Chain A
Amino acid sequence: MSGKKGFGTTLKEWIFTTDHKRVGILYLIGSFAAFAVAGVIALIIRMELSTPGADITDPNTYNVMLYFHGAAMILGFQIPALTGFLANYLLPLQIGAKDVAFPRLNALSLWLFWMGIVLALLTFVIPNPPDIMWTGYPPYSIVSPGNTAFYTFTVLIMGFASIAGGVNLLTTIIYMRAPGMRWFKLNMFVWCTAAAFIIQLVFVPVLGSAVTMLSFDKYLGTHFFDPSAGGDVLLYQNLFWFYSHPAVYVILLPMLGIMFDVIATFARNRIFNYKVAVLGGVGGIVLMSGEVWVHHLYTSGMPDWIRIGMMVSTILISIPVGICVISMVGTLYRGAIQYKTPMLYAVGFIFLFLIGGLTGIPHAVAALDLHLQDTHFVVAHFHYVMAVSGTFAVIGGTYYLFPKMSGKMCNEGLGKIGFALTFIGSNLTFFTMFLVGLDGMPRRYFDYSHMPELASLHQIITYGAFILGLGVLVTFINWIHALIWGKKAVDNPWGSKSLEWTTTSPPGPGNWAEVPDCTNFDPYAYGED
């Protein structure tokens, strides 16, 4: 597209880029590729489950597909899309930096993430693919003929990319803010991603250690998780969830952050209770994120006093999360709301996140969770609270940033159709899953011939999944359409007060001609002119 440059130069400038915006866009492409493949796999899983009995796959393939769907969606889509794409693209622009602190390290994170995607995709071509879910619980992951090594290395490579990205962007936030950009002038997105990166730095290495021990046990014959030699299987579950529960907050916080900014922009309003949301909400989530993981293990065997302690801390963490949601809804109050496509996704996000959050409470209560554990109710809960909420945040955020990234406007009509389809599809799929789960449908089952009465509900779920898939397809078509035929975007199409909209669309190398002066800047100064 660039007039004077040849294709080779353009290609070189993209794949060897160290610019944070291009790194962000390459993260976007990679994570949506993972999302698309894992989404198609989810549809195959749903087709298999739409009737009792074996239909289109066999049990082993089904396990491999469950592994790929989980690993690719969480490690390949959610975390890279939120902490990779959104944080890389938006964060330096919002703090007025020319780039991140270590541009080359940033590119290394990006390409390691892509190598992780390659490893995950190899699942479909290698003999003995991993079939151990994305959790990789021993003893099955140690005795299974599947390739546990690829699971370990996917986690390690993506984990290293996350850690390098976290170190990089935290340093950027601390040292590279524009002059006059004081801490309490930062966008909510900056606060939220900074918090997410702190959580990542503390917890990702623990997951790395856990999966390393797993491969050591399987391939070098060590005894970390081998009860016959004094090891402990539950040790893995504890180490794994010690990371993987905070990982939910790594996903949640950037999601809240981008939705805060979208809501403030389209409601033309200040963030309600900004300081309370930052210190109490975001800060509270960081402080409490590491004290709740045992609620994943209520049925794994533990003393009652730990169950009760973890039940209390799990219910307590809904307070900081609640503070954030109250701030979001409060920002809407008496705002001049415009329902553009990104805003629709933000409102949809609040709705889905509320359902997800409220159905989390029965899981926090140990007595109820003993019944719900490992049923489709859990599947529905975490798909509401992180899967579809996260997807809505990423799609909404992409719509929001699309004019800035590409210099083109998306079609509002197609955007709204896409939103309606995804919203209806999500609720049809996952709300029905709650009902199936309450009726006792176990998760991860390939066949439910022993409970044929659930077949009609399962069919509804499958229809819902296809509606959701259609919505995502419409969204992708809209973006590609806009890239090629979209109208040219002005620098600030949404009328936002945030710093990223003061530069050109798309921004060139270095973001601004000169570093912006932020002495009199306020990202949420609506209603003052």
Chain B
Amino acid sequence: MSNSAVEHHEPEWEVSPWPLIISVGILFLLPFSFALYFVYDQPMLSVISLGIGTPLIVVSIIGWVKGSYADIAHHGKEPGYGLGAMPFFILAEAFIFIAFFGAYWVLRLTAPEWPPAGTPHMASTTPILMTIVLVASSFTIHFGEMALAKDDKKGLLFWLIITIVLGSIFFGLSAVEWKHLIHSGFSFDTNLFSTFFFSITGFHGSHVLVGLSAFLCVLFPLLAGRVSHTFVKSVSVYWHFVDIIWFFVVSQIYFW
């Protein structure tokens, strides 16, 4: 379509290759590799598909984040819509968990016996430890945010690294617990409780992982001296949301 008649506008159409590349990456990473492995029994092709998808996504995320920071540097100020969008995003995220918890409550409250046969005794030390770590990380990222409000980039860096470490410890504890349970014969397909235990803690864990990745997208530009106030605030809101969901997980799955 011709744009010769619009010379009085900004002359250039804005472009970014990353959305298209990341979409192709997602196509290979998720549907293709999953279907090749589980439906068509082709583990080798599945790994190849993962190998195509993952670098496409990683490269796109790096390019995208770089582009965003370059935009901020170019325009001098941030439009700051990110924080305004977070409530809508979190609303949608919350409903993923509402669906899983809703299913859990319905099936648990109509079950003839609970816990169903085959459920081992769960040690309560790990979830308590995980709760402490995750709540602490919510505080540390808030301290980081407060440091940034005073334009103290070093303070932000300090608290951000502590938050990333705490988040990784949480994730590690979760992984060790999963490994231990699966090793003791309590796996995805054991019974109804294992179904919900692994899917809900797994979904929560995936959110922790997304949060950690987002922190890395703050960390690397910060090491180069660049920072986006909106992005830090948005990631922080997301992290608090992940923390709040954890209270539901720990109270409904571990201590009920």
A309 at the interface (CB under 8 A from B): no
A45 at the interface (CB under 8 A from B): no
The answer to whether A111 and B23 touch (CB under 8 A), given A2-B3, A167-B88, is yes
B19 at the interface (CB under 8 A from A): yes
Q: Mark A105-116, 1 if CB is under 8 A from B, else 0.
A: 101101110110
Q: Mark A506-524, 1 if CB is under 8 A from B, else 0.
A: 1111111100000000000
Residues of A contacting B116 with CB < 8 Å?
Answer: 229-230
Expressed in whole angstroms, the minimum distance between the Cβ of A93 and any Cβ of chain B is 14
Q: Which residue of A lies closest to B113 (CB)?
A: A230
Query: Is the CB–CB distance between B93 and A168 below 8 Å?
Result: no
B125 at the interface (CB under 8 A from A): no
A406 at the interface (CB under 8 A from B): yes
B35 at the interface (CB under 8 A from A): yes
Expressed in whole angstroms, the minimum distance between the Cβ of B141 and any Cβ of chain A is 22
Q: Which residue of B lies closest to A506 (CB)?
A: B1
CA A110 to CA B22, docked complex, whole Å: 12
Q: Mark A180-196, 1 if CB is under 8 A from B, else 0.
A: 00000000000000000
CA A443 to CA B195, docked complex, whole Å: 34
Query: Is the CB–CB distance between A16 and B3 below 8 Å?
Result: no
Complex interface residues of chain A between 484 and 514 (CB less than 8 A to chain B):
504, 506-513
Query: Is the CB–CB distance between B15 and A13 below 8 Å?
Result: yes
Query: Is the CB–CB distance between B96 and A209 below 8 Å?
Result: yes
Query: Is the CB–CB distance between B103 and A509 below 8 Å?
Result: no
Residues of A contacting B35 with CB < 8 Å?
Answer: 147, 149-150, 153
Residues of A contacting B9 with CB < 8 Å?
Answer: 508-513
A329 at the interface (CB under 8 A from B): no
Expressed in whole angstroms, the minimum distance between the Cβ of A212 and any Cβ of chain B is 8
Query: Is the CB–CB distance between A168 and B85 below 8 Å?
Result: yes
Q: Which residue of B lies closest to A406 (CB)?
A: B1
The residue among B93, B95, B116 with the most chain A CB atoms within 10 A of its own CB is B95
Query: Is the CB–CB distance between A221 and B4 below 8 Å?
Result: no
Residues of A contacting B67 with CB < 8 Å?
Answer: 104
Expressed in whole angstroms, the minimum distance between the Cβ of B69 and any Cβ of chain A is 13
Expressed in whole angstroms, the minimum distance between the Cβ of B56 and any Cβ of chain A is 12
Q: How large is the interface on B (under 10, 10 to 19, 20 to 34, 35 or more residues)?
A: 35 or more
Q: Which one of B154-162, B169-177, B184-192, B240-248 is at the interface?
A: B184-192
Query: Is the CB–CB distance between A513 and B8 below 8 Å?
Result: yes
Residues of B contacting A4 with CB < 8 Å?
Answer: 4
Query: Is the CB–CB distance between A213 and B85 below 8 Å?
Result: no
Interface residue from B22, B89, B191 paired with A108 (Cβ < 8 Å)? B22
Expressed in whole angstroms, the minimum distance between the Cβ of A107 and any Cβ of chain B is 4
Interface residue from A107, A115, A202 paired with B26 (Cβ < 8 Å)? A115
Query: Is the CB–CB distance between A3 and B85 below 8 Å?
Result: no
Residues of A contacting B192 with CB < 8 Å?
Answer: 223, 229-231
Expressed in whole angstroms, the minimum distance between the Cβ of A15 and any Cβ of chain B is 6
Q: Which residue of A lies closest to B106 (CB)?
A: A235
The answer to whether A510 and B10 touch (CB under 8 A), given A205-B99, A229-B116, is yes
The residue among A128, A167, A170, A221 with the most chain B CB atoms within 10 A of its own CB is A167
B76 at the interface (CB under 8 A from A): no
Q: Mark A81-114, 1 if CB is under 8 A from B, else 0.
A: 0000000000000000001011111011011101
Query: Is the CB–CB distance between A128 and B39 below 8 Å?
Result: yes
CA A114 to CA B64, docked complex, whole Å: 20
Residues of B contacting A166 with CB < 8 Å?
Answer: 88, 92
Residues of B contacting A22 with CB < 8 Å?
Answer: 13
CA A222 to CA B187, docked complex, whole Å: 9
The answer to whether A18 and B23 touch (CB under 8 A), given A150-B35, A167-B88, is no
CA A1 to CA B4, docked complex, whole Å: 10
Expressed in whole angstroms, the minimum distance between the Cβ of A96 and any Cβ of chain B is 15
Query: Is the CB–CB distance between A153 and B34 below 8 Å?
Result: yes
Query: Is the CB–CB distance between B99 and A216 below 8 Å?
Result: no
CA A213 to CA B188, docked complex, whole Å: 12
Complex interface residues of chain B between 76 and 117 (CB less than 8 A to chain A):
79, 81-82, 84-85, 88-89, 91-96, 98-100, 102-103, 106-107, 110-112, 116
- SS class of chain B's interface: helix, strand, loop or mixed? helix
Query: Is the CB–CB distance between B3 and A230 below 8 Å?
Result: no
Query: Is the CB–CB distance between B15 and A18 below 8 Å?
Result: yes
CA A465 to CA B161, docked complex, whole Å: 63
Query: Is the CB–CB distance between B199 and A222 below 8 Å?
Result: yes
Query: Is the CB–CB distance between A111 and B2 below 8 Å?
Result: no
CA A231 to CA B193, docked complex, whole Å: 10
CA A208 to CA B64, docked complex, whole Å: 26
Residues of A contacting B68 with CB < 8 Å?
Answer: 104
Query: Is the CB–CB distance between B84 and A174 below 8 Å?
Result: yes
A157 at the interface (CB under 8 A from B): yes
Q: Which residue of A lies closest to B11 (CB)?
A: A509
B136 at the interface (CB under 8 A from A): no
A224 at the interface (CB under 8 A from B): yes
The answer to whether A232 and B106 touch (CB under 8 A), given A153-B34, A171-B88, is yes
Query: Is the CB–CB distance between A508 and B92 below 8 Å?
Result: no
CA A174 to CA B18, docked complex, whole Å: 26
Residues of B contacting A303 with CB < 8 Å?
Answer: none
Query: Is the CB–CB distance between A111 and B31 below 8 Å?
Result: no
B122 at the interface (CB under 8 A from A): no
Expressed in whole angstroms, the minimum distance between the Cβ of A416 and any Cβ of chain B is 26
Q: Which residue of A lies closest to B24 (CB)?
A: A115
CA A2 to CA B6, docked complex, whole Å: 12
A247 at the interface (CB under 8 A from B): no
A131 at the interface (CB under 8 A from B): no
Expressed in whole angstroms, the minimum distance between the Cβ of B221 and any Cβ of chain A is 16
CA A235 to CA B103, docked complex, whole Å: 7
Query: Is the CB–CB distance between A108 and B14 below 8 Å?
Result: no
A292 at the interface (CB under 8 A from B): no
Residues of B contacting A232 with CB < 8 Å?
Answer: 106-107, 110
Expressed in whole angstroms, the minimum distance between the Cβ of A431 and any Cβ of chain B is 38
Complex interface residues of chain A between 8 and 26 (CB less than 8 A to chain B):
12-13, 15-19, 22
B38 at the interface (CB under 8 A from A): yes
The answer to whether A108 and B23 touch (CB under 8 A), given A17-B13, A101-B85, A504-B6, is yes
Query: Is the CB–CB distance between B19 and A108 below 8 Å?
Result: yes
Residues of B contacting A239 with CB < 8 Å?
Answer: 99, 102-103
Complex interface residues of chain B between 95 and 151 (CB less than 8 A to chain A):
95-96, 98-100, 102-103, 106-107, 110-112, 116
Interface residue from B20, B40, B189 paired with A107 (Cβ < 8 Å)? B20
Query: Is the CB–CB distance between B13 and A220 below 8 Å?
Result: no
CA A80 to CA B252, docked complex, whole Å: 37
B5 at the interface (CB under 8 A from A): yes
Residues on A close to B: CB < 8 A? 1-4, 12-13, 15-19, 22, 99, 101-105, 107-108, 110-112, 114-115, 118-119, 127-128, 147-150, 153-154, 156-157, 163, 166-168, 170-171, 174-176, 201-206, 208-210, 213, 215-216, 219-224, 229-232, 235, 239, 405-407, 504, 506-513
Some 5 contacts from A to B, beta carbons below 8 A apart, are A99-B14, A115-B24, A156-B30, A201-B92, A230-B116
Q: What 8 A-B pairs are tightest by C-beta distance, nearest first? A: A508-B6, A221-B189, A209-B99, A111-B23, A153-B31, A107-B19, A508-B9, A16-B15
**Given A148-B39, A222-B199, A224-B103, 7 more contacts at CB 8 Å?**
A2-B1, A104-B19, A149-B34, A150-B35, A175-B84, A205-B98, A230-B107
